[in-house]
Amino acid sequence: MIRALLFQVFLGLVAADNGLSAWVRYAPLANSHHFHYAIPSKIVALNTTETSPVYTAGQELQDGLQGIFGKQVTVEHAKCPAASSVVIGTVDEYTKVYGKLQNSPELVEDGFWLSTKGSEVQILGQNERAALYGAFEYLSMLAQGNFSQVAYASNPSAPIRWINQWDNMDGSIERGYGGQSIFFSNGTIVQNLTRATEYARLLASVGINGIIVNNVNANSSLLNETNIIGLGRIADAMRPYGVRIGISLDFASPMEYGLPTFDPLDPSVIEWWTNKTEALYQQVPDMAGYLVKADSEGQPGPLTYNRTLAQGGNLFAKALQPYGGIVMFRAFVYNQLNESDWRADRANAAVDFFKPLDGEFDDNVVVQIKYGPIDFQVREPTSPLFANLHKTSTAIELEITQEYLGQQCHLVYLPPLWKTVLDFDLRVDNKSSIVRNIISGQRFNRPLGGSAGVANVGTNTTWLGSILSQSNLYAYGRLAWQPAQDPESILQDWIRLTFGLDTNVLNAITQMSMESWPAYENYSGNLGIQTLTDILYTHYGPNPQSQDGNGWGQWTRADHLTIGMDRTVTNGTGFSGQYPPEVASMYEDIATTPDNLLLWFHHVNYTHPLHSGETVIQHFYNAHYSGALTAQTFLQLWQTLKGKIDPERYEEVLFRLTYQAGHSIVWRDAITNFYNNLSGIPDEAQRVGHHPWRIEAESMTLSGYMPYAVSPFETASNYTAIVTTSNTTVGTASTVLAYPSGTYDLAVNFYDLYGGISEYKIYINDKQTAAFSADYVDVARLGHTPSIYLDGHSATRITFPGVKVAKGDTFKIVGTPGGIEPAPLDYVAFLPAGVVD
Ligand code: GCU
């Protein structure tokens, strides 16, 4: 027994894991005794201050060698013989202690030098945190069983590698799907900041050096005396890992603290911010800076006083300048528009607002630009603003939290999407102008630049709400360090670090992750039409209609004949003209616009032929069917890993992939039905609207249940569901089965509303065959934004495999409502092996 247990621990594959240590687990390596020759027997960390990153690195190395090899290694802080030691410190400290290096590595800020010769290891940082990055890189090699001899310098491509958290003072998180804030609760900073330190550890392990801790929709109460002291505690908690904190500001704060104005040019306002900034630096001497969302989505800003956005940004830049702080000024500024104006376009806003200000921002202002011109959609063209600011430093804003992209309930590995922008060549002045070289500062010779990733981690032990979505946080850091890297090889490092070295595990998770964004795009919004989720409510499930007829400007302009935004200069909104000429002419001409952005740039008939040869509408149908089919295979792939992953994480992922398989069908049916209904054009393959294996709930014999017209209509099969006649009535729906006798997978589509847990029992010939509760959102088994309606967010499908039925059997489902949830039911399907209906 003891032997078996030891063996399990040693393999490091099946030990329980709740996700908290994410990819920095230091799990035991199989056969590690073969490599003892390569393990240092001493750690020399050249700093004795316990809060210094070099000291931290010493501890990490000790924990790592213990965890990976089961070897206890002592940490010294003074000179020891270099042989069989890992020596870690800054280049300067190393030189003082060991003398000048033979070949000094060329290091920029935060860069490190790593050299391994068997058990003699040298990790030298340009600064303290850089040394820690080197330690994490070395440990990552060991944890992946990589004992090669290396000697190289690694430098980040840009100085700003930040995280943005959208945490509110009450502890909620805007667009967060992993629980409550680890920083705030009840209007103030939490007492126990252990999770903040653990978060800093994860961030440092991938080279992230800054974090904005509160929501861009900021609350000025963060600036009261108690909270400023609290911010000092957050900074202290994260500093040992070299992560500097910054905060988002509410532009109108001075007024909320009693001044009659928040005009950025008013001397009393300037003085107010100068004093606040000083008070903050007293508590947080290394504060990274401010993030500002001004004149955007109802947030106050300088335009109120007819001041420019640059004057607004410079107000903070001047206050921060003496301390070396930075202002990240968001370019997400737009006005509500009227769709009846053919030339109106929200996508134009950022360039319209910011291009005229190029050169007017102070040097410590960085304009933070979302990757696309709208808002984190499943596919957008690169924001043209990157091409239009030559005298301003810029950073790209990416979203790690999957707001419009499945909210961590769908597996969507994001780096391939990010790379469509990072690798895009904007051809400014007909010269190579790749976005990653613009944000690094290199292309326009700017001093600052980099990336901001909206992460929104929470108290959930998986941080983000799901284990598989941790790959996005990991990869964000790796790409912020070096955006030219390949998403698949980053992913594979993450898989090995998170799940061990089994090649079956590696291959299965690689395949599903790399297929996940294309699949999601296929079953959500195609050809550049955006995600087609509900933009007026939760941003989660399908609701194409919600895009149009409102001022938000995420329009599709779909009618019964045509679809797409005409963004050409000749006949549309002129957006394509915001790009430099080579790119502009590609998008201006429908013949050279890539299919995957056709509807972003052009307004066409549903029958318009794509380069692929399909028509637009048939592409919608085909893509949705193929995307949903791919999502079914993720589940099957995962099931091949049973026993190769610890049960805790296996079950967590299984639950989510099962859910995704069902919800991808909800997406598929909603979007294809919607456009089928609007265009009247049938699916050539006759799938849309034809469901031979389904029984609609409303067509069964009902007692205590009644039909219910679902809105939006396309989120119910045949537009109709059933609900119990009251919140206390138990409903029964029954029917006689006409399928050939055999074994089927029984799929049940129901709606899981927030505000109650209904119970369902299924009987075949009065024998109970299955039962389930609609508790996914109520007990936060799924973290997506819940809905209180029957709609595309709450629609859910559960499948019971291997149900035996004979022709003529009676099927009965009994629904017991709970709270506001009236045991809603859409349809059931009896699926023969291999059929997805
Ligand atoms: C999106 C998101 C908001 C967020 C905003 C922003 O619109 O839905 O929650 O505040 O982006 O980035 O500022």
In whole angstroms, what is the distance from residue 447 CA to residue 449 CA? Answer: 7
- The residue whose two tokens read 């992913």 is 491
Of all atoms in ligand 1, which is nearest to the CA of residue 403?
A: 8
In whole angstroms, what is the distance from residue 555 CA to residue 337 CA? Answer: 10
Q: CATH 3.30.379.10 spans which residues of the chain? A: 2-154
| Of 165, 175, 530, best ligand 1 pocket probe by most atoms within 8 Å of the beta carbon | 175
Strands (E), 548-678: 562-563, 604-605
Write down the pLDDT at residue 780: 84
Of all atoms in ligand 1, which is nearest to the CA of residue 370?
A: 12
Write down the pLDDT at residue 16: 76
Look at residues 127, 278, 145 and name the one whose alpha carbon lies nearest to residue 209.
Answer: 127
Strands (E), 365-497: 365-370, 393-399, 450-454
How many Cβ atoms sit within 10 Å of the Cβ of residue 808?
11
Distance from the Cα of residue 171 to its chain's centroid? 20
Annotation: CATH topology of 694-831: Jelly Rolls (2.60.120)
Write down the pLDDT at residue 178: 97
Chosen CATH of 500-565+603-680 out of 3.40.50.80, 3.90.1330.10, 3.20.20.210, 3.30.70.920: 3.90.1330.10
In whole angstroms, what is the distance from residue 257 CA to residue 248 CA? Answer: 17
Q: CATH 3.20.20.80 spans which residues of the chain? A: 160-485
CA distances from 574 to 338, 352, 565, 577 (A): 16, 11, 11, 5
541, 795 Cβ separation under 8 angstroms: yes
370 CB within 6 A, ligand 1? no
Write down the pLDDT at residue 15: 67
What residues are annotated to the active site? Answer: 297, 375, 403
Distance of CA 329 from the midpoint of ligand 1 (Å): 15
CA distances from 218 to 167, 354, 403 (A): 9, 22, 19
- CATH architecture of the domain with range 160-485: Alpha-Beta Barrel (3.20)
Pairing type for strands 450-454 and 188-189 reads unpaired
Look at residues 766, 136, 788 and name the one whose alpha carbon lies nearest to residue 497.
Answer: 136
Q: Is 823 left (phi over 0), alpha (psi -120 to 50) or beta?
A: left
Pairing type for strands 120-125 and 150-154 reads unpaired
- What parts of the chain have a pLDDT lower than 70? 1-15
pLDDT, tens digit, 9 for 90 and up, residues 172-223: 999 999 999 999 999 999 999 999 999 999 999 999 999 999 999 999 999 9
537 CB within 6 A, ligand 1? no
In whole angstroms, what is the distance from residue 619 CA to residue 607 CA? Answer: 10
End-to-end, the C-alpha distance of the chain in Å comes to 47
371 CB within 6 A, ligand 1? no
Q: Evaluate the omega torsion of the peptide bond into residue 40 and state whether it is cis, within 30 degrees of 0.
A: no
Distance of CA 177 from the midpoint of ligand 1 (Å): 15
What lies within 8 Å, CB to CB, of 740 at 6+ separation is 807
What lies within 8 Å, CB to CB, of 620 at 6+ separation is 526, 527, 671, 672, 675
Q: CATH 3.90.1330.10 spans which residues of the chain? A: 500-565+603-680
Amino acid 185 reads S
| Of 250, 332, 552, 554, best ligand 1 pocket probe by most atoms within 8 Å of the beta carbon | 332
Write down the pLDDT at residue 101: 86
Q: CATH 2.60.120.260 spans which residues of the chain? A: 694-831
Distance of CA 292 from the midpoint of ligand 1 (Å): 13
Atom 13, ligand 1: which residue's CA is nearest? 216
Instruction: Name residue 706's beta-bridge partners.
Output: 723
Which strand (E) or helix (H) includes residue 637? helix 616-639
Under CATH, which number does the domain 2-154 receive? 3.30.379.10
Three-state SS letters, 140-194: HHHHCCCCCCEEEEECCCCCEEEEECCECCCCCECCCCCCCCCCEECCEECCCCH
Structure tokens at 418: 């990010």
332 CB within 6 A, ligand 1? yes
How many Cβ atoms sit within 10 Å of the Cβ of residue 274?
15
Q: What is the pTM of this model?
A: 0.97
Distance of CA 701 from the midpoint of ligand 1 (Å): 46
Of all atoms in ligand 1, which is nearest to the CA of residue 293?
A: 13
Amino acid 29 reads L
668 CB within 6 A, ligand 1? no
In whole angstroms, what is the distance from residue 549 CA to residue 338 CA? Answer: 8
Look at residues 497, 500, 605 and name the one whose alpha carbon lies nearest to residue 561.
Answer: 605
Write down the pLDDT at residue 14: 52
